[in-house]
Every structure is written in structure tokens, then in C-alpha cells.
Structure 1
């Protein structure tokens, strides 16, 4: 639990609240390529990434993958609306490297939230971060060309291209792998 204690400290979670959270959580290893959440699954947990790398992605009816976003350490990962409404997730959350998470039981967390208003503030911070990321991503996809999106990607995720398949980078940028190859050659 040392990794998780350090993580919670870096997330500015006070010691008492960290202990409370750890009492309803467990450390879980997720291997490269494994799903944390699958499309169609009704999530009962959320997690905080301790180490590794994840992505959110969709698969259309033709089998094409669309990467919605990446999750780095010290970030909450969840199919939040599906968990909140207890409905099937529309997307997958997949480990792109061998990863470690602190997995939190959602029902027990709701009980914790009722007992301590700190968790309301924690939730608001996590949702604000997610909303900011979503809004920025939508703006880039709607207003910028592929080259500009690629430059932003390399700035925001330095070295990421060496860690993941270029096909995943292309799906994140909303382009075909061939187009990514052309952009990278420039």
C-alpha cells in the first residue's frame, strides 16, 4: 500500500481520508492490452491510476477503434456516467502498458461521501479536470487540422509514440495510420 499512500498524498488527500479510501479499495495489476472496463459492462468500481498508461476507446460496428483519451498516473479512470446510472458502458478502458491502479468500490465510496464532505470536493475536482480535457479535445477535433492536432499530441504526451502503437495515435488524432505517417515525415 506504500505506492497508494504516496499517490494519495500527491493528490492532496489528507491522511484520515486517505486511510478511509484505502479501507474500501484494493491495489490491482492490469496487464498490457487488458481491459479495465469493457463496452457493455456495468461498472461497480472506479480507479486511480498509480502507474502505467490507459486509454478510453470506442469500437464501431465495422470494428474501427476510436481513441477518446489517455489516462496517465494520478488520474481517476472510470466509465462515470455508466457507473452513476448503473447502465452499460459505451466504451472500453484498456491498459496500454502493464499498469497498477487503486480500485475503489463505488457503493462503498458513496457511503464515504455521505459521511465526509471532503469527497464532494474531490469529486468536483476530478469532474472539472475531466470536463476541461473533454472540452479541449472536442475543440481540437472540430477546429484544428490533423497536423496541428499531432503537434499538440507530441507536446502534451512527449515520448508517447514510443510507448504505444502508431495505430492508436492515429485513432486518437481522428486520422488513418497512413495520414499519420505522412504527417510524421514532414
Structure 2
């Protein structure tokens, strides 16, 4: 199964933290919905899912026919989504459902877990036109600070100052 990690970064390279003072750009949200529809699914952390739900999504609309998989050690059941305990369980579930691609969509912990385990084939970074003083980083190896070379597949403007970078990762 092909795994694609989708994230929004700030112009200074931090993992973008959205909130009332810095809402996500419409162009990034529309792009996420497009990728989720194409994959037919997305994997998300519980806290990020709850944040999305609190802001009016995910729910009916663009995610009505999409398999949403929430990775959580705490939640046992969330109506309308599948809850799993691990990254491997999330991928196994989507494979059993017949998906060819898994979209990893949210939460720095989820992203870092997939990256740290070497489970990502491709990354899509939407770079938002904002500088963030304090942010989180995407990490491939917390202990050894190793490098992982990637191959640029595409680079395009999405509008609103958002630029998308798409890279392949050799696993």
C-alpha cells in the first residue's frame, strides 16, 4: 500500500499550528479534501480529529464517503470513524478495506510516528505564507538526527500564497 503524508508547514519550516489567530488557508483545506477523496481515506490522531470536528469537520460534505481512521491509545469508540491503537493497525485496516493508498493527515505525533517507522512513501507539504515563532517539527529519527534524501515530484502554487511541494521517499 502506498502511504502519503500530507501536512501544512509554515514558511520557516515548522509544522503549522492553526487556531483562531492563525486559521488554516482555504487553499490547503481544499487540497486536503481533494487528496482525501482520491485516496478514499485518511488517518488522523485523536486530538487533531477532535479539533477538526470542533471546527465543523470532518463530517458530511467532503468526507461523507471516506474511511476515517483515528489512531488513539485513549479513545475506544468514536461514532462514524474507525479507532485503532497503532500506525500498523491503521494501515492493516485500510488494506483489508481494499484501499491502495493511505493518506496520513494529521497530528505531529501521528506524522512523526509514521516517519520514524519508515512507513511513508511520499510527502505532500503545503507551505503556508506565515512565519511561526514556536512550532513543532516533523522528525524521521529523534535520537540520531539522520538524513533521509527525497526526490522532488512536483512543485506548484495553490493560490493564496500557498505553495505545494511533493516528494518521494525511498523506503
Larger Cα-atom Rg? 1
> Above 0.5 in TM-score?
no
- Interval of TM-score (by shorter of Structure 1 and Structure 2): under 0.3
**Structure with greater helix percent:** 1
User: Which protein, 1 or 2, shows the higher relative CO under an 8 Å CA cutoff with sep ≥ 6?
Assistant: 2
How does the TM-score come out when normalised to structure 2? Answer: 0.27
